[in-house]
Amino acid sequence: MSHHCHDEHDDHHHHHVGGAEHDHSDDITPAVQFSLYQHINFDEITTLNEQVHGSGKAIIKKTWAERLETEPEVVSDADEQLIINVPFTAQIKLHALLLRTSPSPSAPRTLRLLANADIHDFAQAEDSAPTQEFELSQTSEIQELPVKRARFNAVQTLCLFFPDNFSQGEEDETRISYIGFKGEWMTRGQAPKNIVYEAAARPSDHKVRGVEEGRGVGSTQGQ
């Protein structure tokens, strides 16, 4: 009997794995089927240490069709480090990040992703444990960086910290020309209705109980 159940479980498991593999047929058009472009809050993107104000936002505003265009690009200013904070308009399940740099020494060497972190300066970024860290390539090809999805299954803001480039300290300018995001999303407006309803229901319960208790106390004092 138990053996029979075990077989059923194996069959089911095999079917599930097969289905998951089939779903990955989006590789023909990466970043289109699972693009998070429409869920980025572009107005609230902030970039630290960019030479030209708004250039970090501009490279994320590039569509998949514009990914190979060299301009605009974000260039670091005082040194080789860059931070880009990207808020989303929905709750995101991140699958992968897409990046285009160059074969030059100004290509970023490391990327540290911090999910739902409020990073305002480089000391804070250095001190924060990354949700995931990537060693990048020195290439003008699009780099697709798959994340460990369990760590990025409820993302509302994403901090991209580029601590260094391939120049080994010789080059102060780090250059990036495209960043894109792949994943799934859940609109923020759907789940909160439930939460707001429950939160509103509980205080009214308390209030009724409180009033009744208050009356009881009052009448005792009156006697």
Residue 81: the pLDDT is 98
Task: Give the pair of three-digit tokens for residue 164.
Answer: 């260094």
Q: Dmax over Cα atoms in the chain, in whole Å? A: 88
Lowest mean pLDDT segment, chosen from 41-55, 133-147, 201-215 = 201-215
Tokens of 32: 């289109």
CA distance 216 to 223: 11
Q: Using an 8 Å Cβ cutoff, are 173 and 79 in contact?
A: no
Q: How far, in Å, CA of 106 to CA of 38, rounded?
A: 30
Residue closest to 114 by CA, chosen among 139, 97, 89:
97
Given a cut of 70, is residue 179 above it in pLDDT? Answer: yes
Quick one: what percent of the chain has pLDDT higher than 70? Answer: 69
Closest CA relative to residue 57, chosen from 160, 166, 165? 160
Tens of pLDDT, residue by residue over 68-110, are: 999 999 999 999 999 999 999 999 999 999 999 999 999 999 9
- For residue 186, the model assigns a pLDDT of 84
Q: How far apart, in whole angstroms, are the C-alpha atoms of residue 158 and residue 89?
A: 12
Q: Compute the mean pLDDT over every residue in the chain, rounded to the nearest whole number.
A: 80
Confidence of residue 189 (pLDDT cuts 50, 70, 90): low
Given a contact cutoff of 8 angstroms between Cβ atoms, the answer to whether 84 and 60 are in contact is: yes
One-letter amino acid for residue 206 of the chain: H
End-to-end CA distance of the chain, in Å? 72
Q: What average pLDDT score do residues 40-57 get? A: 98
What mean pLDDT is predicted for residues 114-140? 96
Q: Which pLDDT score is estimated for 190? A: 55
Whether the predicted pLDDT of 20 surpasses 50: no
Q: Which residue has the higher pLDDT, 202 or 106?
A: 106
The predicted structure's pLDDT at residue 32: 58
Task: Tell me whether residue 196 is exposed, middle or buried, using C-beta atoms within 10 angstroms of its C-beta: 0 to 12, 13 to 18, 19 or more.
Answer: exposed
What pLDDT is recorded for position 17?
38
d(CA 138, CA 123): 26
42 band by pLDDT with thresholds 50, 70 and 90:
very high
pLDDT of residue 21: 41
Is the pLDDT score of 125 beyond 90?
Answer: yes
Q: Token pair for residue 121?
A: 């300066």
